[in-house]
Amino acid sequence: MLSALVFAPTAVALLLFALPRRTTPQVFRAVWVGTSALELALVIAVWAGYDADGGLQYEQRTRWIPSAGVGYHVGVDGLSLPLLALTCLLFLACALYSLREDRRVREFAALFLFLQTTCLGLFAALDLILFFVFFDLSIVAMYFVIAGWGHQQAARAALKFFLYTFIGSLALLLGFIGLYLAASPHTFDMVELTEQNPLAGRSAYAALVLLAVVVGLAVKTPTVPFHTWLPPAHVEAPAAGSAILAGVLLKMGTYGFVRIAMPMLPEAWRRYALVLVVVGVLSVLHGALVALAQTDFKRMVAYTSVNHMGYIVLAVGAAAATADSSEQARSLAVTGAVTQMVSHGLLTGALFLLAGVLYERGRTYDMGSYSGVAGAAPAFAAMTGVAAFASLGLPGFSGFIAEFQIFTGSLGPQPLATALSVLGILLTAGLFLRALRQVFTGPLRLPDAPGTPRAFPDIRTHESLAVVPLLALAVVLGVAPRFLLDVIEPASRSVLELLAR
Amino acid sequence: MTEMNENPLDLLPEVLLAASAVLGLLLGSWLPRVRQWIVGLLAAVACVAGIVAASPAAGEPATTAFGEAFTVDPVTNTSRIVILGGTLLVLGVSFRPLKGDARETEFYVLVQLAALGALMMAGTQDLLLLAAGYLLASIPAYTLAGFRKDGPGTEAALKYYVVGALLGVLMLTGITVLYATGGGTGYPMLGEAFRDAPEALVATGSIGLLAGVLFKAGGVPAHFWVPDAVQGSSPPVAALLTTIPKIGALAALFRLGDVVFADSTLPWPALVAVLAAASMTLGNLGAFFQQDVKRLLAYSTISQVGYLLMPVAVAGRADLAQQALLYYLAAYAVTNLGAFAVVCAFPHAHTLEDYRGLAKERPLLAASLVICLLGLVGTPPTAVFLGKLEAFSAAFDGGYAWLAALAAANTVASLFYYLRWIVPAVSRSGPSMSAAGDSAARMTAYTAAAISLGLGIAGGPVLDALS
């Protein structure tokens, strides 16, 4: 079931190429949307059959390259299931959003379907090399998305993205090899490595491995100071690409923290947790402050991602604090971190798609060129408003639930860091309100296009089909988050048990 | 020395190739020009037969043949399969450009002799036989480099020959010194003798020896010839030069490290590790701003030798070393030949820009190119990724973590120049390249890319057989 979920999109992508060259683009779009919808249905079925207290489920394990210690091992638990569901939802949203895409539709659809496989595979992987394979392939696929369908500076941004994240992936690989060699018998299997805790009592070795793993994941997350690849990649990528990049790909880094680094290197993680807390706070504040200085809407959203990912890093760092803080508080922090991954995926996905709508109408992201758009496009304005308010952490939206848990969980162990991070909320509130005022209020002014000024048509059906479900789910999670938290909480408790070894 | 092991069947792949070369030469003088391709076919048959002969023995324990001079063990057998398979791919890309050529037969015979030299180097465990293998692998290759008889080809051949002759003499000198030090030329015996031999003598001799073997491998510091010889010779020859001799040379180096210098007074592993580091780094730096595809691949092959030297450095110190080297050799050979096959398919495209629009005209070929180039980077799930994984693990395990880290950094750097080729090939803007070209070379490229991918996904059984 899980393997079908993972590999079905790629199989469909290959089928797309088998279709004759003269097939109309509508067929490709229909197949793409259909596949994504099917994937979402599949993941809902997986969720329905999932027992929240059952640990790893839907496990599949076959021999792959036994002499290298590599196996094909997949499964889901409370950490990966929400992210699998998020991935399917966001890819469906992107498929719907791209219904108007007319540039090389076949390749675009195939690339996204392949990208979906890599994302799902990564969250389902229970073998380090399998994880790495999907990690690297996602970089390759995203490179081609940015380079092939991006804006003017796309080639350069894509190269920067590739080089940076590839460096990260190789650091990660070295860390994985370190873990592999420490285990006896040598293995890359995550479950076995977690049980063995092979680096217990070997502090120098463990520190080096942790360094390699954390650097690799931090680049992908991205945290300060490894975030510089992110703004150009986001700005130059097509809207659907940005949504996936921010919504799903960034989660690979933070997911790696809770899935790999914390349970497999508990001692080293606890020892260096303070470093992560500091990095988290720096990311929160740096991301928010730099976002505040942006005039480009998309770049601003990109920097708020650095800010939001900073909360997650803060939470996973604070959760490692021992002794003086209660088990419950730390569990809350980890749960909050996972919830934040989901919430950020939904909201940033929506924001980037909306940025795409703006660009499609006005051919620029420069907020100074727009004014009074709310009058011309009320529905668009409303959606952007909702997304922005949700993103800044207003109660009633998923972002609030996540950030509330993170702050409550982290305040005990790390009061100063948490207090500083709360300032980040204030800053994001300010910058989102400023952006909304600039673009949507005042007299109507649109960018000067060559020739006559164009009208600003309101949001179209396919665009709202893509964006509204994301926002609706953010509201549902904000009002009734239990169904998500019930899945995450047992998993985060078990992560903490592993961390306490 | 026993009298029992002079069984020519132990050397069946080598014998087949030699026989086919001789037979081809005779046949070529009788056949009319339009039917000289039969000699090429004969060579291909000999390669296939050699692979078939070597395959069942691949997992068997080691035996020696002809005194102690030649050993038939997993290293030899794997090298045989890889060299003969690589030769098949080279024959595939040569088929069309050589068809009807006045010297078609000569070309095929020379290719077989060069491959035979590589086979000898891979299997020998005697310094004199190593020297003979070196000469047999080199001299046909010199000729092939200048085969076109044009300006760049002549320059390529000349440079290749001069460097090769110089380093060959150094190698013979080194062998002489080692002979004098150890009192013999057989590896097992030398291994014993070097345990307490004077360090200065062993060092002098081994450096001379290294000069020759590294020349064949194309590793730093004996790498000068690579870019010029590769750029100047015709694409099929360039494919051969960057692949086939390397396999023999690296297998030979591995054996030297494993048997001869394992317990010697010389810090052999450290020496090889430094050479590996220099090779991967300098090769990468050289490749950065190349515009000519063959030159770019030439520098890329220098850097790949660096990665291949990692398991060689830890030979005998890490359990993974042997399987890492052998797997990486196979992966590298097929991936590199795949990239060269794409070059052969478009003999008139020289610079990176000439490949602009390849994806529009030949999507499948562009996909093969992307697979091979990303494969050379080491992106999963291609074969080289698994090779690198094994090589990194072996280096770690053997106590050379710094080398693994440096190799990882180099991998990232290498990405830059491979992408410089991928980007124009997959981009849609600009004039598209002509779709004309060589169908045999295209098929070879598809095959190589498919093997490279298949070997990466289903590498398990292969690795099992190698360990």
Q: How far is B79 from chain A (nearest CA, A)?
A: 20
> How high is the pLDDT of residue B57?
67
Q: Distance between CA A500 and CA A172 in Å, rounded?
A: 23
Return the structure tokens found at B44: 């291909």
Give the model's confidence band at A322: pLDDT under 50 very low, under 70 low, under 90 confident, else very high. low
Q: Distance between CA B282 and CA B303 in Å, rounded?
A: 7
Please say whether the dihedral angle defined by the alpha carbons of residues B70, B75, B78 and B79, taken in this order, is positive or negative: negative
From the list B323, B380, B423, the residue facing A133 with the nearest CB is: B380
Q: Distance between CA A18 and CA B266 in Å, rounded?
A: 59
> How high is the pLDDT of residue A257?
93
Which residues of chain B neighbour A133 with C-beta distances below 8 Å? 380-381, 385
* C-alpha closest to that of B234 among B27, B79, B438: B438
DSSP state of A296: B
Three-state SS annotation for A375-395: HHCHHHHHHHHHHHHHHCCCC
In which residue ranges of chain B is pLDDT below 50? Answer: 1-2
Comparing alpha-carbon positions, the chain B residue that sits nearest to A172 is B408
| CB contact (8 A) between residue A67 and residue B460 | yes
Which residues of chain A neighbour B464 with C-beta distances below 8 Å? 66-67
Q: Could you tell me if A127 lies within 8 Å of chain B, comparing CB atoms?
A: no
Which residues of chain A neighbour B423 with C-beta distances below 8 Å? 147, 155, 159
* C-alpha closest to that of B259 among B311, B318, B188: B188
Which residues of chain B neighbour A170 with C-beta distances below 8 Å? 408-409, 411-412
Which residues of chain A neighbour B401 with C-beta distances below 8 Å? 208
Radius of gyration of chain A (CA): 22
Task: Give yes or no for residue A451 having a pLDDT over 60.
Answer: no
Which residues of chain B neighbour A180 with C-beta distances below 8 Å? 393
Return the structure tokens found at A479: 């009002």
Amino acid present at A418: T
Which residues of chain B neighbour A155 with C-beta distances below 8 Å? 423
> To which residue do tokens 């030699």 refer?
B18
Which residues of chain A neighbour B416 with C-beta distances below 8 Å? 159, 163
Q: Distance between CA A376 and CA A358 in Å, rounded?
A: 12
Q: Could you tell me if A147 lies within 8 Å of chain B, comparing CB atoms?
A: yes
Q: Distance between CA B141 and CA A251 in Å, rounded?
A: 52
A284 with A293: CB under 8 angstroms?
no
Return the structure tokens found at A44: 């809902």
Give the model's confidence band at A452: pLDDT under 50 very low, under 70 low, under 90 confident, else very high. very low
Return the structure tokens found at B54: 């070597």
DSSP state of A323: S
Q: Distance between CA B110 and CA B87 in Å, rounded?
A: 11
> How high is the pLDDT of residue B2?
45
- Output A38 or B428, whichever has higher pLDDT: A38
Task: Give yes or no for residue A91 having a pLDDT over 60.
Answer: yes
Return the structure tokens found at A139: 């970089």
| CB contact (8 A) between residue A174 and residue B392 | yes
- Residues 166-195 on A with a CB inside 8 Å of B are 166-167, 170-171, 173-174, 177-178, 180-181
> How high is the pLDDT of residue A41?
95
B337 with B276: CB under 8 angstroms?
no
Q: Distance between CA B451 and CA B92 in Å, rounded?
A: 15
From the list A66, A132, A140, the residue facing B460 with the nearest CB is: A66
* C-alpha closest to that of B215 among B246, B257, B184: B246
Classify residue A321 as left (phi > 0), alpha (psi -120 to 50) or beta: beta
Comparing alpha-carbon positions, the chain B residue that sits nearest to A66 is B460
Which residues of chain B neighbour A165 with C-beta distances below 8 Å? none
* Residue A3 CB-density burial (10 A; 0-12 exposed, 13-18 middle, 19+ buried): middle
Count the Cβ atoms, other than its own, within 10 Å of residue B346: 24
A111 with A136: CB under 8 angstroms?
no
Comparing alpha-carbon positions, the chain B residue that sits nearest to A72 is B457
* C-alpha closest to that of B82 among B121, B56, B51: B51
Read off the pLDDT of each residue in A64-84 and give the average, rounded to a whole number: 90
> How high is the pLDDT of residue B407?
93
C-alpha to C-alpha distances, A471 to A240, A478, B183, nearest whole angstrom: 16, 10, 82
The string of DSSP letters for A94-114 reads HHHHGGG--SSHHHHHHHHHH
> How high is the pLDDT of residue B182?
87
| CB contact (8 A) between residue B423 and residue A68 | no
| CB contact (8 A) between residue A159 and residue B419 | yes
> To which residue do tokens 């950094």 refer?
B409
Cα B43 from chain centre: 19
Q: What percent of chain A is predicted at pLDDT more than 90?
A: 64
Q: B149-156 long-range contacts, Cβ below 8 Å, gap at least 24?
A: B152/B231, B152/B232, B152/B233, B153/B232, B153/B233, B153/B234, B154/B232, B155/B228, B155/B232, B156/B228, B156/B229, B156/B230, B156/B231, B156/B232, B156/B233
| CB contact (8 A) between residue A104 and residue B460 | no
From the list B385, B396, B460, the residue facing A64 with the nearest CB is: B460
* C-alpha closest to that of B108 among B178, B56, B38, B172: B38
- Best A6, A21, A64, A65 residue to mutate vs chain B (most B CBs within 10 Å): A65
- Best A181, A202, A205, A215 residue to mutate vs chain B (most B CBs within 10 Å): A181
> How high is the pLDDT of residue B263?
82
Which residues of B touch chain A, with CB atoms under 8 Å apart? Answer: 323, 374, 379-381, 385-386, 389-390, 392-393, 396-397, 401, 404-405, 408-409, 411-412, 415-416, 419, 423, 426-428, 459-460, 463-464, 466-467
Q: Distance between CA B395 and CA B242 in Å, rounded?
A: 24
Lowest-confidence region among A14-23, A71-80, A432-441: A14-23
Which residues of chain A neighbour B426 with C-beta distances below 8 Å? 144, 147-148
Give the model's confidence band at A449: pLDDT under 50 very low, under 70 low, under 90 confident, else very high. low
Comparing alpha-carbon positions, the chain A residue that sits nearest to B404 is A174
| CB contact (8 A) between residue A181 and residue B463 | no
- Best A134, A174, A202 residue to mutate vs chain B (most B CBs within 10 Å): A174
| CB contact (8 A) between residue A173 and residue B392 | yes
| CB contact (8 A) between residue A148 and residue B426 | yes
A439 contact partners, CB below 8 Å, separation of at least 6: A297, A358, A367, A370, A371, A373, A384
Q: How far is A335 from chain B (nearest CA, A)?
A: 32
Is A350 in a helix, a strand, or coil? helix
* C-alpha closest to that of A46 among A18, A74, A65, A23: A74
Task: Give yes or no for residue A224 having a pLDDT over 70.
Answer: yes
> How high is the pLDDT of residue B432?
59
Which residues of chain B neighbour A147 with C-beta distances below 8 Å? 423, 426-427
Q: For chain A, report the end-to-end CA distance as a whole number of angstroms.
A: 33
C-alpha to C-alpha distances, A11 to A15, A26, A76, A479, nearest whole angstrom: 6, 19, 22, 38
Is B124 in a helix, a strand, or coil? strand
B220-235: pLDDT as tens digits = 888 889 999 999 999 9
> How high is the pLDDT of residue A450?
61
Please say whether the dihedral angle defined by the alpha carbons of residues A476, A482, A483 and A486, taken in this order, is positive or negative: positive
Q: Which helix (H) or strand (E) holds A73?
A: strand A70-76
> How high is the pLDDT of residue B72?
86
| CB contact (8 A) between residue A68 and residue B408 | no
| CB contact (8 A) between residue A177 and residue B389 | yes
Buried b (16+ CB within 10 A) or exposed e, A7-24: ebbbebbeebeeeeeeee
> To which residue do tokens 């002794």 refer?
A323
Q: Which helix (H) or strand (E) holds B71?
A: strand B70-72
Q: Could you tell me if A129 lies within 8 Å of chain B, comparing CB atoms?
A: yes
Q: For chain B, report the end-to-end CA distance as a whole number of angstroms.
A: 28
Q: Which helix (H) or strand (E) holds B12?
A: helix B12-30
Comparing alpha-carbon positions, the chain B residue that sits nearest to A155 is B423
Q: How far is B365 from chain A (nearest CA, A)?
A: 14
Q: Distance between CA A324 and CA A333 in Å, rounded?
A: 15
A227 with A216: CB under 8 angstroms?
no
From the list A64, A68, A147, the residue facing B423 with the nearest CB is: A147
DSSP state of B102: T
> What is the length of chain B?
467
A229 contact partners, CB below 8 Å, separation of at least 6: A160, A161, A163, A164, A165, A219, A222
B246-270: pLDDT as tens digits = 999 999 999 999 888 888 888 899 9
| CB contact (8 A) between residue A68 and residue B390 | yes
* C-alpha closest to that of A94 among A298, A348, A316, A280: A348
Q: How far is A201 from chain B (nearest CA, A)?
A: 19
A175 with A212: CB under 8 angstroms?
yes
- Best A173, A186, A209 residue to mutate vs chain B (most B CBs within 10 Å): A173
A198-223: pLDDT as tens digits = 888 888 899 999 999 999 999 998 88
Q: Distance between CA B388 and CA B328 in Å, rounded?
A: 7
Task: Give yes or no for residue A293 having a pLDDT over 80.
Answer: yes
> How high is the pLDDT of residue A325?
64
Please say whether the dihedral angle defined by the alpha carbons of residues A317, A319, A324 and A325, taken in this order, is positive or negative: positive
A427 with A331: CB under 8 angstroms?
no
Q: Distance between CA A55 and CA A76 in Å, rounded?
A: 8
- Best B412, B414, B422, B462 residue to mutate vs chain A (most A CBs within 10 Å): B412
- Best A62, A139, A166, A179 residue to mutate vs chain B (most B CBs within 10 Å): A166
**What was the ipTM of the complex prediction?**
0.86
Q: How far is B373 from chain A (nearest CA, A)?
A: 12
Q: For helices B401-426 and B293-313, what crossing angle results, to 10°?
A: 160
Mean predicted lDDT score pLDDT of chain B: 89
Amino acid present at A434: R
Which residues of chain B neighbour A148 with C-beta distances below 8 Å? 426-428
Is B289 in a helix, a strand, or coil? coil
Q: Distance between CA B135 and CA B118 in Å, rounded?
A: 10
Buried b (16+ CB within 10 A) or exposed e, A284-307: bbbbbebbbebebbbbbbbbbbbb
> How high is the pLDDT of residue B429?
66
> How high is the pLDDT of residue B362?
84
